[in-house]
Structure 1
Amino acid sequence: MSTTDTTTPQTPEPEGPVPRPVRLIKNEATTEIPVHLLFRDEPEPRPVPLGPAVVGSRAGTGEQPRFRGTGEQPRYRTGEQPRFRRPVPARDRPLAEVDPALVERPARVLPGAAGVAAGACGAVGCVAASWWAGVLPPLVVDALRLPAYAGAGLGPAQWAAYAGAGALGLFGFGGLARGRTGRAWVLGLFGRYRGTVRRTGLLWVNPLLLRRRVDVRLRHWRSEPMPAADGNGVALRVVALVVWRVRDTARATLGVEDHETYLRECVEAAIARIPVETPGAGRGSVEAAGEALTRRVARDAGAIGLEVFSVQPVRVEYAPEVAAAMNRRRIAALDAQQRATVLTSVVDSVEDTVTRLTMRGLVELDDYERKALVKDLTVAFCAGRGEQSP
């Protein structure tokens, strides 16, 4: 009786050496690098779920816990690199920051006719209360053609009428104001900003509000000599002309104690930090320094609502302690430049004279005679230039 072999056939093993896995990165210095090392992050602390913060966590199932109140799942070795926000350079940050909620807004005012009407009503009420109390002079009664009335005397009702009419008249006439072009009022009540009035003409403003007048016209300011330095560190004195105006009255008035003093400090700080060209520099260098000063001051003063259009150095001179030495140095440089110019002119004149004499055949010169002629012409031309230069 034959027995059937039910044994599972074995897979024959390949003969020869086992092939190695294919290398992903290979060059002269590196043979192979594991892929998981290329995207390896620093180990992050694993969050520990606590009590009710865990929803549906299953131990041992490999499912990550979900956290209540967060919109993303925790990342565990996903290969994603952390993202960092690029910091703003210090030179691009404004010099100061004020309250962002302090922004100019229009105040609530009424036309001046409303104040005049209210004041007139108050005056009429006072006259009527006086006639009611019987204290109105007979001349006024005859002038106003009022009916004769004995009067009830000054009682509580009459005093109440006086108070109401007087308050109405005071509020009506006391709130009248005249708005002018180029001027604005910053209104405040108990230390709180209530708005800005830029309207013109006759207006009525609540008399309980504190008014601060601000000039919003285009203004020019010429500074006093301020310390500065050029690119080589030589001390200078610079007078700057600043063109500016108030753009946001709320910030300019309430953001700092004095916006004009703040602007002066900004200009002085900018001149001290930005190199200014020495006297006698080219026009392009002066314009470049003016543009740099304008950008700097406009950025610093913009934080308090000032708009700077131009900051130009109108006078640049050396500081008193170095003025004498730098003037001597400048005169020496100008003298050397003048001498070089004169010498170049003399050499060109001598060369032109000798060349013309030779090419036209007026003289035939050997080397010795040519050198002597060049020497005599050089002395003659230099003497003539020296007599003309003074």
Structure 2
Amino acid sequence: MSTTTSHPSEPDGPADGPADGPARPARLIQNEATTEIPVHLLFRDDPDPAPVPLKPAVVGRRHGTGEQPRLRRPAAPKRQVPQVDPDLAERPARVLPGAVGVLAGACGAVGCVATSWWAGVLPPLAGEALRLPVYAGTGLGLAQWAAYAGAGALGLFGLGGLARGRTGRAWVLDLFGRYRGTVRRSGLLWVNPLLLRRRVDVRLRHWRSEPVPAADGSGVALRVVVLVVWRVRDTARATLGVEDHEAYLRECVEAGLTRVPVEMPGGPRGAGDAAGEALTRLVAADAAPVGLEVFSVQPVRVEYAPEVAAAMHRCRIAALDAQHRASVLTSVVDSVEDTVTRLTVRGLVELDDYERKALVKDLTVAFCAGRGETAP
């Protein structure tokens, strides 16, 4: 690109070309620095340029504009909810009606009696009571002992598995540490006696806590007693997912109180309900993975911590005293103003500025003294 310089006085017009070719107008663009660029160089018919690979734009500070770079705030880390074994979930256990266990126990007892009669060791009185024919017996041999063992095992297995299911109670069954199901049925049942049974209360329950440390919106230490309404929803996770689900629930409530500010009674309207709703959401989210369903967490008593109770009591007494003094002073000023206005309006006295100030002073002292004497 060529650059030429021309004087501002020269008009823009066609320039003389070479003698052997056609004349081409040299139209120029002139800027403030008297630098001119031929226009035909800006609009040349060049072939399409090769594509330029684009790079990711980097947003930075633009010099000379005063604009500050836009900084992206790091995303707040999501609150992690505790998780337990995803394969651990409540499922019904295989149980039989209680009549099966009773029948098996009766069969075992009958087998023991029949084996004793067969071996000839049945007492005569028992034989007469059962109306069995007299039989000398073959004695206790290997066959008799095997029959004894089979009948006794059947009777023990049948009677040992009998259990009574109650409404609102459940059994969590496991065999050698492996979860085998949950029994929520009521009535007489037969459960495999080899399974370990753990009783779980699945009724709707409430728990009133002891005073738990907390804080209000200003960071003042408090002691809060909360009432929690909850129940066990998944017995497998509540029993096998944690060591003690009741202790876990207490810890969740204490952790929630450290994150939710609680206001003293008499604070802003709706502050107590908002704190209860926030506590319920937090505790329910923490307790859900272990099979607990939390319906409500409400503060029922809020008081200052012992280390700040005395200081807050003094502050409240001082505030009440200041409020009382302000009300008394307002009443005295109104009374003095009304008295002076009536005396002057009715023409009972004529006062100049000095006398008016003296009268106001005397009336104020008198009214304050009278209020002090009549005050309880």
TM-score by length of 2: 0.74
Q: Which residue of 1 aligns with 2:83?
A: 97
SS at 1:90's partner residue?
Answer: coil
Unaligned runs of 5+ in 1: 1-13, 22-33, 43-85
TM-aligned CA distance change 1:144 to 1:18, over 3 Å: same
Matched residue, 1:336: 322
Secondary structure of the structure 1 residue equivalent to 2:100: helix
For residues 151 and 299 of structure 1, do their structure 2 counterparts lie closer, same or farther at Cα, with a shift above 3 Å needed?
A: same
Letter of the structure 2 residue corresponding to residue 238 of structure 1:
V
Q: How far is 1:108 from its partner? A: 0.9
Following superposition, the deviation at residue 36 of structure 1 comes to 6.4
Deviation at 1:379, TM superposition (A): 4.7
Query: 1:309 is matched with which residue: 284, 287, 295?
Result: 295
Q: Partner amino acid for 2:274?
A: A
Counterpart-to-counterpart distance in 2, 1:355 and 1:36: 92
1:154 aligned partner:
140
User: Which amino acid letter does the alignment assign opposite residue 279 of structure 2?
Assistant: L
Counterparts of 1:153 and 1:337 in 2: how far apart (Å)?
Answer: 105
Note if 1:281 corresponds to 2:249: no
Structure-2 separation of matches of 1:217 and 1:119: 33
Letter of the structure 2 residue corresponding to residue 207 of structure 1? P
Structure 1 residue 352: Cα displacement: 6.1
**Equivalent residue in structure 1 for 2:245, among 259, 262, 277:** 259
Cα offset, 1:363, TM superposition: 5.6
Task: Provide, for residues 345-384 of structure 1, a one-character-per-residue CA deviation record: whole Å limited to 9, x for no partner.
Answer: 444555666677888x586766747666655665555445
RMSD: 3.3
Q: Give the whole-Å Cα distance in 2 for the aligned partners of 1:276 and 1:150.
A: 87
The 5 A counterparts of 1:33-72 are 40=55
- Counterpart CA distance in 2 for 1:295 and 1:99 is 23
| 1:226 has 2:196 as partner | no
Return the alpha-carbon distance in structure 1 between the equivalents of residues 279 and 352 of structure 2: 62
- Equivalent of 1:200, from 153, 168, 186? 186
Deviations 1:106-149 (A, max 9, x none): 11111111111111111111111111111111111111111222
- Name 1:320's counterpart in structure 2: 306
User: Equivalent residue of 2:263, what SS?
Assistant: coil
Gaps of 5+ in 2: 1-23, 27-39, 45-49, 58-73
Tell me the distance in 2 between the aligned counterparts of 1:108 and 1:357. 100
Structure 1 residues 198 and 330: alpha-carbon distance in aligned structure 2, compared to 1, 3 A threshold: same
Count of matched residue pairs: 320
Q: Superposed, which structure 2 residues align to 1:1-20 within 5 Å?
A: 17=40, 20=43
How far does residue 188 in structure 1 lie from its aligned partner after superposition? 0.5
Report % sequence identity: 78
The letter of the residue matching 2:107 is C
- Separation in 2, partners of 1:88, 1:143: 84
Structure 1 residues 275 and 121: CA distance shift in structure 2, 3 A: same
Distance 2:116 2:257 in 1: 69
Distance 2:352 2:301 in 1: 56
The superposition leaves residues 49-77 of structure 1 with CA deviations (integer Å, 9 ceiling, x where unpaired) of xxxxxxxxxxxxxxxxxxxxxxxxxxxxx
Cα deviation 1:206-235 (Å, max 9, x = unaligned): 100000111112222222222222222222
Equivalent-residue separation in structure 1 for 2:75 and 2:143 (angstroms): 72
Note the alpha carbon deviations across 1:244-296, whole angstroms, 9 max, x for none.
22111111111111111111111112222322224653452222222222221
> What letter matches 2:106 in structure 1?
A
Decide whether aligned partners of structure 1 residues 385 and 193 sit closer, same or farther in structure 2, where only a CA change above 3 A counts: farther
Of 207, 212, 224, which aligns to 2:198?
A: 212
Deviations 1:316-340 (A, max 9, x none): 2222222222221221122222323
d(CA) in 2 for partners of 1:379, 1:152: 125
CA distance in 1 between counterparts of 2:118 and 2:347 reads 129
Query: Following the alignment from structure 1 to structure 2, what is the Cα–Cα distance between the partners of residues 356 and 151?
Result: 131
Shift of 1:203: 0.9
Distance 1:112 1:163 in 2: 23
Partner of 1:243: 229
Q: How many angstroms apart in 2 are the aligned matches of 1:105 and 1:87?
A: 40
**Hey, what does 1:132 align to over in structure 2?**
118
Q: Deviation digits for residues 59-110 of structure 1, max 9, x if unmatched?
A: xxxxxxxxxxxxxxxxxxxxxxxxxxx988433x31x211111111111111
